[in-house]
Amino acid sequence: MRIDILTLFPGMFDAVLGESILKIAQDKKLVQCYLHNIRDYSDDKHKCVDDKPYGGGGGMVIKPEPLFHAIEEVERLDNLAAKKILLTPQGKTLNQEMANALSQENRLMLICGHYEGFDERIRSVIGLLEISIGDYVLTGGEIPAMVITDAVVRLIPGVLGGKSSLQNESFMNKMLDYPQYTRPAVFRGMKVPEILRSGNHKLIEEWRNEKSVKRTEERRPDLLEK
């Protein structure tokens, strides 16, 4: 998969893309991430990317010209058509199902805003998907773009060790994960449930399923209703 990230703050991505699973996925050539500074696509001699909103009001709005140039020129860098995603609190809220669908794409283009928002005409870009990572406002789309990258890349076959680790985790079956334990068998008087040490895989699976349902009922009944 190819991921192009359009941002005014490319440096924000260094640590997230340069460590752990996202780094390994790139080293294994399972994903290629490219950062593009929207400012480089401004025609303005001062490389200005924002301006005051028409009609007044506080804050600055990202101008349409550098954004459209960036989207069009970055798109042309590869023959693969990019699924274009605008990060905005006004978008559809990200969930596991959306991450699964996005992990099937060959190429994503993540467009990050900053300041008060984008010129509304950005929404005329054909096929543009708008995604929010939750009902709260961040200072920009960079952290949401990192969240999407992480949620999607870990689903690309070969990125994580075993397939089963994905199938069993929270949300994959629309349920929360079951409790996990590792050694020691007793820690500060707290014991690992006997059944997990029994070696009986059928019983262990039943126990895990039961715990998963119970935890989901208690913490996220909305998931079961869906």
The reply to whether 88 sits near ligand ADE by the rule CB under 6 A is yes
| Residue from the set 25, 31, 87, 122 that interacts with ligand ADE by CB under 6 A | 87
Please report how many Cα atoms fall inside a 13 Å half-sphere around the Cα of residue 209, on the Cβ side: 6
Q: Which is nearer to ligand ADE, 64 or 117 (CB)?
A: 117
Q: Which is nearer to ligand ADE, 85 or 176 (CB)?
A: 85
Give, in order, the Cα–Cα distances in Å from 215 to each of 84, 208, 210, 212, 223: 36, 10, 9, 5, 11
The reply to whether 98 sits near ligand ADE by the rule CB under 6 A is no
First to last CA, the chain: 31
Give, in order, the Cα–Cα distances in Å from 189 to each of 69, 120, 127, 195: 62, 59, 57, 17
Closest CA to 105 of 59, 139, 152: 152
- H runs (alpha helix) in 95-200: 96-102, 142-153, 163-167
Q: What is the C-alpha R_g of the chain?
A: 22
CB of 166 to ligand ADE, least distance (A): 24
* 96's tokens: 């596991």
Query: Mask 37-76, x = binds ligand ADE (CB under 6 A)?
Result: ----------------------------------------
From 16-24, 86-94, 166-174, 183-191, give the range in contact with ligand ADE by CB under 6 A.
86-94
**30 contact partners, CB below 8 Å, separation of at least 6:** 1, 153, 156, 158, 159
Question: Which residues in the 129-158 window bind ligand ADE by CB under 6 A?
Answer: 132-134, 136-138, 140-141, 144
Interstrand relation of 32-37 and 83-93 (parallel, antiparallel or unpaired)? unpaired
Q: Which is nearer to ligand ADE, 66 or 144 (CB)?
A: 144
Q: Which is nearer to ligand ADE, 142 or 159 (CB)?
A: 142
CB of 219 to ligand ADE, least distance (A): 22
For residues 204-226, one letter each, b for 16 or more C-beta atoms within 10 angstroms of the residue's C-beta and e for the rest, the string is beebbeebbeebbeeebeeeeee
CB of 140 to ligand ADE, least distance (A): 6
Q: Which is nearer to ligand ADE, 66 or 113 (CB)?
A: 113
Query: Mask 175-204, x = binds ligand ADE (CB under 6 A)?
Result: ------------------------------
Q: Which is nearer to ligand ADE, 70 or 87 (CB)?
A: 87
**Site residues for ligand ADE per CB under 6 A:** 87-89, 132-134, 136-138, 140-141, 144
